[in-house]
Amino acid sequence: MFFDASKPEGNNDSLTSAVSKNGTPKIGQMYLVPARCGVAVKLSARQSIRIENTHGTQVCDFWAFRDPDMQEFLSMAHTRTSLESIFPKIGDILVSNTRQPMLEIVEDTSPGEHDTLMSCCDNNRYKILGCKAYHDNCTDNLRMALLAIQRKAPSIPDPFNLWMNIPVKSDGQTSFEPTISKNGDWIKMKANCDLIAVMSACPQDMNPINGVGCSPTEVSFSVEN
C-alpha cells in the first residue's frame, strides 16, 4: 500500500487555524497555536519567528521546510552533527538535511532546555501507550497545518522540541520530564532562507512533558522583520 506522508489519520482545528490562506503572516501580529493543534507560517530570509510558551508548561514541536522546495527541511540529525551537541543555544545555527543554514537562535529567555532527540508523537505512539481511540498528535498536526495553507508534507522529519525536558543520563538512558520553563518564556529564531515553519502545541497528556498535570495548552508566536 502506498504511504502518503501528507495524509492525516484524524482531524482537529489545525485545519482551520491558518494565519492566512497561503501562510503569509501580518508582521508583528501575535498568533495562537491552539492547544493540541498545529499552525504553519511563511518566513522570508532574515525574518524572525518569536515563539512564546504562554503558560510555561507547554512543549512545542517545531519544523521548517525550505520554500518552495520542501524536500529540504530542518534536520535534527544534521544539526546535532554540525553543533557537536544535542542542546542548541543562543547563537547556534540549525541546519537542513543538505547541511545548509536554516535558522539561527537569536534569543531565548527560558533555561534553554530544548530536545533534539525525540520523534514527534503520532497515533501509533498513543496506541502503544494504551489509547483505544484516535488521539490528537503532532504528526497529524504537521500534516493538517500544511494542508491548511495549501501545502503537503513531503515527509515527517524529527522536530526541534521546544521546552521539552529530556534528561540524558551517563548510561544513555532518557526520561520524559516536566518542562522547566516559566510562563511567558520565548525563543526567537532568525531565518537564513525563505521557509515554512510549522508549530504543534503537543497534545501529549499521558506523560508529564506538558507539566505535572499532563494538561496541554496553547502557545503563541509572531513573525518580525
Strand 31-33's sheet: what is its strand order? 31-33, 219-224, 48-53, 185-191, 101-108, 93-95
Q: Positive or negative CA dihedral for 73, 76, 81, 82? A: positive
- Rounded average pLDDT over 85-110: 98
Q: State the pLDDT at residue 1.
A: 57
The domain limits of the chain are 46-217
pLDDT in tens, 143-176: 999 999 999 999 999 999 999 999 999 999 999 9
pLDDT in tens, 104-123: 999 999 999 999 999 999 99
- Rounded average pLDDT over 84-98: 98
Summary mean pLDDT of the chain: 97
Q: How far apart are the first and last CA of the chain?
A: 44
Q: State the pLDDT at residue 3.
A: 80
